[in-house]
Structure 1
């Protein structure tokens, strides 16, 4: 089925925006095959632009060596979409060459010079040949050749069914790998956050506990956390529970002053508010909750952390 350039561009734009695309009434194919075709157009558009969606010139000739190389890559298991994009070639053309190669070998890939023969004429020629073979003395040989052709077609059908199953398996594996990567990404974000160590470990433990596909030993190994340290931090009581009021006031002062107060100013402000606390304790709590004051140097226009 041939589609216009405007129709292809419209389908590609809808596909990129995530808009549902329905098979047109004039397309003699299924919805699934049509969406596969749109996916192919989108990849060609990303690689070659609008020129890639234009119809290939009919006078372009592929040598036997070029055709044979493409067929061998296809039979070796390379994805059809990859071969198509690299050679700006329609996937149906690759399937056609492969079929010819399986039927007749290299001779099936030879260039047919002259005007293309009409389908009706081809069918009539085949019928006349079959009738002549049946009426000839070599009837047994013709039956043998027909049997061999049927055998080759069956083998080809098995080959394509096997490839289809392999594609389905690869698709399922890719989906599983994508889900696993998302889970690991969430764990990495927790591990690299600025939260206290005990809180990070508790969040990692809850995430692993909620997901049956993740193993705790594997997660700890990836993040280089000893098991003893992990369970110690998990079971350890928070030493600063009694300082919750001071911590909340400290965070409030830090926020009110837009992260410009260091440990000395925060200590002085806490003392003004009636909290007796030492400078070392203020420094420890600020480090624990990642409260880093930033001040600017007007002369050098640099920033430093206090």
Structure 2
């Protein structure tokens, strides 16, 4: 369940006063109390802004590796997640990717469906760069060489 920023702040304030807020309907009390403790720790370390939604940070692979290394060195995932202000599930995912794929598992990959027509040009690249004379000659020479190699390959296949 997602809670509003104001609700989280109110819960943390009550926790500071030694009181528990009423547990929302459909939520287990123990889980809700654990969430409040985590919000409290996050706010203590990173300030109240950390409780807002949309605090998405694009972590570099090196920063991810630093966090994963701390977990692999024996620190708990929860403590490292709170220290850096991220969701422990996200850190758990990075640890698994690192274990399965190494450093490459931490590199951000392009998301979304692949283009059906790979020859389509990017929307951002409206104007093609004009070629000068030497580049034009080199392009012609490379195209001819490419055709020659394709013909050679066809002969080898037969």
Normalised by the size of structure 2, how large is the TM-score? 0.59
> Which residue of structure 2 aligns with residue 31 of structure 1?
29
Q: CA deviation at 1:81?
A: 4.3
Structure 1 residue runs of 5 or longer lacking an equivalent are 117-306
Q: Which runs of 4+ in 1 moved over 6 A?
A: none
User: How many Å separate the matches in 1 of 2:55 and 2:47?
Assistant: 17
- 1:201-238: CA deviation from partner (whole Å, max 9, x where unpaired): xxxxxxxxxxxxxxxxxxxxxxxxxxxxxxxxxxxxxx
User: How many Å separate the matches in 2 of 1:31 and 1:77?
Assistant: 30
- 1:19-52: CA deviation from partner (whole Å, max 9, x where unpaired): 234542355xx43333222111101222332212
CA distance 1:102–1:24, change in 2 (3 Å) = farther
Partner SS state of residue 3, structure 1: coil
Contact 2:42/2:85, CA 8 A, preserved across alignment: yes
Contact 2:68/2:94, CA 8 A, preserved across alignment: yes
User: How many Å separate the matches in 2 of 1:104 and 1:33?
Assistant: 33
CA distance 1:32–1:107, change in 2 (3 Å) = farther
Structure 2 residue runs of 5 or longer lacking an equivalent are 114-158
**Number of residues of Structure 1 aligned to a counterpart in Structure 2:** 113
- 1:87-129: CA deviation from partner (whole Å, max 9, x where unpaired): 221222212212222333333222122359xxxxxxxxxxxxx
Contact 2:45/2:83, CA 8 A, preserved across alignment: no
CA distance 1:17–1:24, change in 2 (3 Å) = same
> Which residue of structure 1 aligns with residue 131 of structure 2?
none
> Which residue of structure 1 aligns with residue 7 of structure 2?
7
Q: 2:74 aligns with which of 67, 73, 77?
A: 77
CA distance 1:86–1:56, change in 2 (3 Å) = farther
Quick check: 1:47 aligned with 2:45? yes
Quick check: 1:88 aligned with 2:85? yes
User: Could you say what the CA RMSD is over the residues aligned between the two structures, in angstroms?
Assistant: 2.5
Q: Which of the two has higher C-alpha Rg?
A: 1
Q: CA deviation at 1:70?
A: 0.6
User: How many Å separate the matches in 2 of 1:96 and 1:22?
Assistant: 32
CA distance 1:99–1:3, change in 2 (3 Å) = farther
CA distance 1:31–1:97, change in 2 (3 Å) = farther
Q: Which has the higher helix share?
A: 1
- 1:143-167: CA deviation from partner (whole Å, max 9, x where unpaired): xxxxxxxxxxxxxxxxxxxxxxxxx
> Which residue of structure 2 aligns with residue 101 of structure 1?
98
Partner SS state of residue 13, structure 2: helix
Which structure exhibits the higher relative contact order, with contacts defined as CA atoms closer than 8 Å and separated by 6 or more residues? 2
Contact 1:40/1:81, CA 8 A, preserved across alignment: no
User: How many Å separate the matches in 2 of 1:5 and 1:15?
Assistant: 15
CA distance 1:21–1:98, change in 2 (3 Å) = farther
Partner SS state of residue 6, structure 2: helix
User: How many Å separate the matches in 2 of 1:87 and 1:35?
Assistant: 21
Q: How does 1:192-207 map to 2 (within 5 A)?
A: none
